[in-house]
Amino acid sequence: MALQDFLDQLDELGTAAESAFGDAADTETLEAARVTFLGAKKGRLKSIQQQMGSIEREDKPMAGKAFNATKGRIEAAFEAAQQRSNNTDSDSVANAQFDASLPGATFRCGNVHPITQTIEELKEIMGRLGFSIVDGPEIEDDWHNFVALNIPDDHPARDPLENFYLATAAASSGAKDPVGLLLRSQTSTVQIRVMEKTAPPIRIISLGRVYRPDTADATHYPMFHQIEGLMIDTNVSLADLKSVLRLFATSYLGDDVTIRFRPSFFPFTEPSVEADYYWNGQWVEFGGAGMVDPNVLKAVGYDPEEVTGFAFGLGVERLCMRRHGVTDIREFYKNDVRFLAQF
């Protein structure tokens, strides 16, 4: 057989195969076309291959090369057609299953985190008692977290093991005393910030995150929230503190709540008390409080002979736990929606 005739046949076969595969509308037609062109025994490609034996010896290399190229071309056309057919099939399966009368997929609505809900409620209760809300920074300096609160240099509350000092932020802050920058360990810092800028009378609360390197257990977490209250005026007494704290506790926890005050010590209050509530057979501490120490009043420029005041700092998580019967503070921060969706 002449080489040119062989090459012409190959070319014609390639074109015919491409068109047959391209036209195949379903898998049966495609399979039939595959058998016609690529069938192992009687396929048209196979029969052309058999004709190679009659080609002149010196033309054989060229004929072989052309044959392989055509084989590749036909196989590629088949694979492309097969791919198209698979896609169309899966589309048609999806289309067949789509039922426009079915209700749409429902989306679960998120809800407000229980601690955020508690914060909102506490603000509301204290708002009714005439306290306004102020905010303070979470990164604090030595002055507001310790010095102005009458916490001396050698006090254990300053220990690096009790605080999250910020080495990086401190170095780059340009603050007067950069070594002392830390994540605030209590919201009492806000008392100082308010008194520095405002003349008495004062009646504020501040709610926010505080940080302590406490090991997490059922009642402790290294990041938690406090509500700080401060009232400064002429003739404010410990009796006022007691009434406000009792009203606060019963408004949030319910009239049946039993609370008690224990004598305590805080460097920034004198006298100081610890407030506990009774729950699950034991007393749980929910906050500290006391009459603002005269040294603190002096540090912010007030005259302790003219004004007095009380302050308190309560753990928001502990209040929320009591209210909702949560026995482990860690549940609030596991981000388990099965827990969070209950509030």
Indicate the residue among 48 and 205 with the shorter CB distance to ligand FA5: 205
322 contributes a contact to ligand FA5 by CB under 6 A: no
- Token pair belonging to 253: 């926890």
The yes or no reply on residue 315 touching ligand FA5 (CB under 6 A) is yes
Of positions 70, 145, 150, 226, contacts ligand FA5 by CB under 6 A: 226
Q: Given the complex with ligand FA5, which of 70 and 188 has the nearer CB atom?
A: 188
Residues touching ligand FA5: how many (CB under 6 A)? 25
203 contributes a contact to ligand FA5 by CB under 6 A: no
Helix (H) or strand (E) holding 7: helix 3-23
Per-residue 3-state assignment (H helix, E strand, C coil) for 156-214: HHHCHHHCEECHHHHHHHCCCCHHHCEECCCCHHHHHHHHHHCCCCEEEEEEEEEECCC
User: Would you count residue 206 as binding ligand FA5 (CB under 6 A)?
Assistant: no
Taking a C-beta distance cutoff of 8 angstroms, is the pair 52, 6 a contact?
yes
220 forms part of the interface with ligand FA5 (CB under 6 A): yes
State which of residues 67, 286, 302, 332 lies at the interface with ligand FA5 (CB under 6 A): 286
Residue 188 vs 308, nearer CB to ligand FA5: 188
DSSP one-letter code for 154: T
Question: Does residue 318 bind ligand FA5 (CB under 6 A)?
Answer: yes
Q: Which of 317, 320, 321, 332 binds ligand FA5 (CB under 6 A)?
A: 317
- Who's near 321: CB < 8 A, 6+ residues apart? 219, 327, 329
CA distance 300 to 114: 36
| Cβ–Cβ < 8 Å for 67, 48 | yes
Binder of ligand FA5 out of 70, 150, 163, 269 (CB under 6 A): 269
User: Any idea which residue has 């780059």 for tokens?
Assistant: 172
Residue 150 · residue 293 · CB < 8 Å: yes
311 binds ligand FA5 (CB under 6 A): yes
Q: Does 212 bind ligand FA5 (CB under 6 A)?
A: yes
180 binds ligand FA5 per the rule CB under 6 A: no
**Which residues contribute to the site for ligand FA5 (CB under 6 A)?**
186, 188, 212, 214, 220-221, 224, 226, 266, 269, 272, 285-290, 311-315, 317-318, 329
